[in-house]
Amino acid sequence: MSSSFRQLKLTPTSPGVALLDRDDSILAFNERVLDWACRKDVPLLERLRYLCIVSSNLDEFFEVRAEPHLAANQGKDEKGLFSVASFKRLADVAHTLVARQYALYNDDLMPALEKQGIKIVSHGDRNMAQRRWVKQYFEREVRPLLIPVGLDPSHPFPQVANKSLNFIVRLGGRDAFGRENEIAIVKVPRVLPRMIRMPDKVSGSSNFFVSLSSVIRAHLTELFPGRDVGQFSQFRVTRHSDLAVDEDDVKNLRTALRQGLQHRHFGQAVRLEVSAGCSEHLSDFLLKQFDLPEPALYRVPGPVNLVRLTQLIDLVHAPQLCFPSYKSCYPTQLAPGVSFFDQLKLGDVFIHQPFESFDGVLAFLREAVHDPQVLAIKQTIYRTGSDTELMDLLREAVRRGKEVTVVVELMARFDEEANINWAEMLESIGAQVLYGVVGLKTHAKMMLITRREGRQLKHYAHLSTGNYNLRTARLYTDWSHLTADTALAADVENVFIHLASHSRLPKLNRVLLAPFYLHSKLIQKINDLANVAASGGVGRIVAKMNALTDEAIIHALIRAGQKGVKVDLIVRGACILPAQVPGVTDNIHVRSVIGRFLEHSRVFYFRRDDVEELYLSSADWMNRNMMRRVELAWPVTDPVQRQRIIDEELVAYLHDGVDAWDLLPDGTYARVKPDGRRLAHGAQAALMVRYAGQVNGGGV
């Protein structure tokens, strides 16, 4: 089964090599996610959740990636990177993907849920008792918050926020002043729930719901007394939302971002969604109002925001329709009740999340906070979400008189406001808060504990491929590395000093740091293996990451493959390297694994004859990670732990026969087929089974 129904556009580069189109690759990734919503072996509510994930991903795609294409369509692109044709082609692909979503929603998922007693009851299907209850709910909870706006010269089109629910209505007759203003807009406040459970006494079921849009639609006429409500439609506009701050002209980045966040919800419109039955008169009016071309219009036969259906999943109690609950085990290398500092003196500890619990990292920080011999704690913050446990520990560390330094990345996309709030809170209680380097995002995940031991100060470090986020640590696959290694901890200390002082970075012992060395070192390692293979030796590269779009690395990989290096790439999302193209990339294989957990770890393996190197990293192989971010890659030197990571992170995924997709020469993806000789397995499922017997009191 192929994940794509069209050939991806190729972007000409050097002679004989054409790279795949990045935006096409992003949309192809969402087709692979949508496949989980189509799979009959996936529990029903989880299939609905994957459908919502695709919609959420598409929202972000339009918010971040659509603007340059739209600008090209409107003749605003000066660099010639995009064209009218590229905009229309991209829109065609997106329209087809959205059509598949709603066909699945209407023809498969909703009927299947109804068979399970879970139903969203439309106005036409409600009996009189249900209609009375909905009317009462509307009058009590909804109507007081709605202010319909009739458009006229003194009431221009209102500001419509990004991704908000709205209605457009065409009115007949005259208003109270005798005028024939025919268009009105009803903005729906975000504070209102999008899914409302009907009480058992009127529904006869605990799992009957009504949508907010249906409630409002059924009572639109009551919002316009004395007028005839004719055509109407719900609508939703997506706006460009990537914050742009002139970092060369900013004296206070935090203040500038605060100001920028106020305007984020009202950026340039890039997509318009309306009900499938919306009249051309109303849709044309909206397109003109938002200055959008016809391909930016999406007519959808259902809710204009499928993301909000996650509320339905949360409201339904049906464990049999969800994945069986999974309990992470406490990290297998750690002995509960034994001091981390004593354990780390015996050797490094690696935690494979979420199969092993992030609680091990929290316990490490907790011990450091309460240990009177710990003098200082340094940590980077990229995405912490709304969880407070980690922040509470840092606050407690300040209260106990420890030196707490936190590097907060204010420009973490869509987490800017949360990070500003955390930064202000920590600063207010006396922590040293830094914002990294202007112009570079601090994406590295690291923590450094400084402890007095006798007459010496000893460093302990934590490095990770993922964020300090308790929620995503249960959902994302990542590696945490706890170490007392003197050389590695010294590197971490020097990186913190560099971020704080902007002083020249000393030569590091183990760590490869972007934007300084990481990019060139990776290319050097690839080129070295190419030379080894060309001389008759064995060259092998296996790399796992979220995205591969850096052209310099890609061309190095292609050259290495052409000289005999065997290259396997496990790339979850966007990949613009064309694999298995005859005569060009025969030695390069690319696969994507989409599973129950989001694949997030970055692991890079290089083999030169019998010499192996393995690196963990915070960085994907993208130009932005290499050139515009502070990123780390660090080696795993313990041979036992290195083999463990190779087995669990690389070998397992290369042999995944259930959840993997292979990239074909034409740029499409095909789901792997079992070879029939052995029972197929999914890498994540196998790891869940492997760690299931390890569950103990420290699980999440």
What is the secondary structure of 198-213 as a DSSP string? PPHHHHSSTTEEEEHH
Domain ranges of the chain: 10-321, 340-509, 514-692
Alpha carbon distance 655, 682 (integer Å): 8
Question: What mean pLDDT do residues 229-233 have?
Answer: 93
Alpha carbon distance 670, 665 (integer Å): 11
Q: Which residues, in sequence order, are CB contacts of 550 under 8 Å at separation 6+?
A: 519, 621, 622, 623, 625, 626
Q: Which CATH superfamily is domain 10-321 in?
A: Polyphosphate kinase middle domain (3.30.1840.10)
Question: What mean pLDDT do residues 657-676 have?
Answer: 90
By annotation, the residues acting in catalysis are: 443
Q: What are phi and psi of 46, to 5 degrees?
A: -70, -35
Contact 514, 625 (CB under 8 A): yes
Q: Which of 65, 54, 66, 60 lies closest to 97, judged by CA?
A: 54
Question: What mean pLDDT do residues 121-132 have?
Answer: 94
In the predicted structure, residue 646 carries a pLDDT above the cut 90: yes
Q: Which CATH number fits domain 340-509: 3.40.50.970, 3.30.870.10, 3.40.710.10, 3.40.50.720?
A: 3.30.870.10
Please report how many Cα atoms fall inside a 13 Å half-sphere around the Cα of residue 405, on the Cβ side: 19
What one-character-per-residue DSSP string does 443-501 give? --EEEEEEEEETTEEEEEEEEESS-S-TTGGGTEEEEEEEE--HHHHHHHHHHHHHHHH
Question: What mean pLDDT do residues 192-220 have?
Answer: 93
Greater confidence, 445 or 244?
445
In the predicted structure, residue 76 carries a pLDDT above the cut 70: no
Q: Do domains 10-321 and 340-509 have the same CATH topology?
A: no
Which contiguous run of DSSP H or E holds residue 683?
helix 683-692
Residue 26: which pLDDT band, with cuts at 50, 70 and 90? very high
Q: Which residue has the tokens 């605060």?
A: 258
Q: What is the pLDDT of residues 376-426, one digit of tens each?
A: 999 998 777 666 788 899 999 999 999 999 888 775 555 566 667 777 888
Contact 37, 291 (CB under 8 A): no
Question: What mean pLDDT do residues 209-214 have?
Answer: 96
Q: How high is the pLDDT of residue 415?
A: 57
Question: What mean pLDDT do residues 417-444 have?
Answer: 79
In the predicted structure, residue 205 carries a pLDDT above the cut 50: yes
In the predicted structure, residue 10 carries a pLDDT above the cut 50: no
Q: How high is the pLDDT of residue 357?
A: 96
Greater confidence, 72 or 530?
530
Q: What is the pLDDT of residues 503-544, one digit of tens each?
A: 888 999 999 999 999 999 999 999 999 999 999 999 999 999
* CB neighbour class for 75 (10 Å; exposed up to 12, middle 13-18, buried from 19): exposed
In the predicted structure, residue 16 carries a pLDDT above the cut 70: no
Alpha carbon distance 242, 271 (integer Å): 15
CA angle in degrees (0–180, nearest 5) for 370-372-375: 100
In the predicted structure, residue 247 carries a pLDDT above the cut 70: no
Alpha carbon distance 591, 579 (integer Å): 9
Q: How high is the pLDDT of residue 83?
A: 60
Report the percent of the chain where pLDDT is more than 70: 87
In the predicted structure, residue 363 carries a pLDDT above the cut 50: yes
Buried b (16+ CB within 10 A) or exposed e, 441-458: bbbbbbbbbbbeeeeeeb
The class level of CATH for 514-692 reads: alpha beta
Q: How high is the pLDDT of residue 257?
A: 47
Q: What is the pLDDT of residues 82-120, one digit of tens each?
A: 566 777 888 899 999 999 999 999 999 999 999 999 999
CA angle in degrees (0–180, nearest 5) for 413-271-668: 80
First-residue to last-residue Cα distance in the chain: 36
In the predicted structure, residue 467 carries a pLDDT above the cut 50: yes
